[in-house]
Amino acid sequence: MDAIKIVTDETFDREVLQSPRPVIVEYWAQWCGPCRQVAPVLEAIASEHAGRVDVVKLNTDENPATTQRYQVLAIPTVAVFSGGQVVKQVLGARSKSALLRDFADVL
């Protein structure tokens, strides 16, 4: 998980909302099987798009304030933030090609 940064309730605003680049946020939890499936996909996207987009993970069990603020009810939820706003969001594990297709206009 070298290319992906971990964010928390305390660091979310600085690392995501104030970022000059688009940020892909995965809301996940340790016990979530589909979250483990999407992790290598996001790692590949983070590596391939380094410098153009940031990829971060937020553990929903450990960071309830941000989870509630963005009304994340199911995980994994993968959202793209740009300019401090959610511009795209998908639910569930997706293949790399599906995520790239879903996020093509922001990557």
7-19: pLDDT as tens digits: 999 999 999 999 9
C-alpha separations of 99 from 43, 69, 77, 80 in Å: 12, 24, 12, 11
- DSSP element (H, E) containing 74: none
Question: How high is the pLDDT of residue 38?
Answer: 95
Q: Which of 63, 83, 3 is nearest to 39 (CA)?
A: 3
What percent of the chain lies above the pLDDT cut of 70? 98
Residues labelled catalytic: 32, 35
Q: Would you state the pLDDT for residue 4? A: 94
Structure tokens at 60: 């929903």
4-102 — its CATH code?
3.40.30.10
Q: Answer whether residue 107 shows pLDDT above 90.
A: no
Do you know the residue count of the chain? 107
Helices (H), 22-105: 33-48, 64-69, 96-102
